[in-house]
Amino acid sequence: MKLLYQTHSPYARKVLVMAHEAGLADRLSVVHHETSPTWRNDDVFRLNPLGKVPVLLLDDGTALFDSNVICEYLESLHDRPPLIPREPLARLLTLRTQALAQGLCDAGIAVRHETVRRPEALRYPAMRDGQIEKLVASYDFLEQEWAEAADGAPIDLGQIALATALDWLAFRELPDFEQGRPRLSSWYRRFIERPSMLATTFAGQTVD
């Protein structure tokens, strides 16, 4: 299988970290592709009409996207303990954490558009501030309602998604999630030492 990847995408890294945790990384050929809303990559567009990575190209030519769909597919391939729980409530809570992680990345990208990516004359401070408010509220939710229960819990896709999202926020120097949140910080610091995270570190800058 071929994974169209981007070394600075939290969505793509989530897929690759899951592949490592599921024991599937050696079945993937990982190919870096630069994409952005203003820079067309025809190789990616041929497989995903949204022009985004990650895309997983199966051996029969089927292209899977986005990261959530790819992770569901990878879950079906391994025989290790499940990374997406089968019990209904546990599954929903894992997918909820994944959704929160994705929202963190979406908000962070929006902040970057209004601070460093758009030409200065086109930036919208109210949008920046509104997205930062979402980040901070999510950080507080994780500290107060999530981190303690996650401490010592079996690894799952929600944790993978959250770790890659938080590490991307740190990589891009977006609003800090560790200061004043000791439980979240402690969980994050332990998770990023996992071999799957160390093998997939972020690198590179967005091309606009």
pLDDT tens-digit profile of 169-198? Answer: 999 999 999 999 999 999 999 999 999 999
Question: Which superfamily does CATH assign the domain made up of 2-75 to?
Answer: Glutaredoxin (3.40.30.10)
CATH 1.20.1050.10 fits 88-195, yes or no: yes
**Cβ contact 2:47 at 8 Å:** no
Cα(156)–Cα(75) distance, integer angstroms? 11
The overall average pLDDT reported for the chain is 97
Q: Which residues contact 32 (CB under 8 A, 6 or more apart)?
A: 5, 6, 7
Supply the Cα-derived Rg of the chain in whole angstroms.
17
Residue-wise pLDDT for 8-49, tens only, equals 999 999 999 999 999 999 999 999 999 988 889 999 999 999
Whether the CB-CB separation of 94 and 155 falls below 8 Å is answered with: no
Per-residue tokens: 38: 């203003």
Task: Work out the burial of residue 86: count CB atoms within 10 Å of its CB; fewer than 13 is exposed, 13-18 middle, 19 or more buried.
Answer: exposed
Instruction: Give tens-digit pLDDT for 113-134.
Output: 999 999 999 999 999 999 999 9
Check pLDDT > 90 for residue 199. Answer: yes
Report, as an integer, the average pLDDT of 50-68. 97
All structural domains of the chain with their residue ranges: 2-75, 88-195
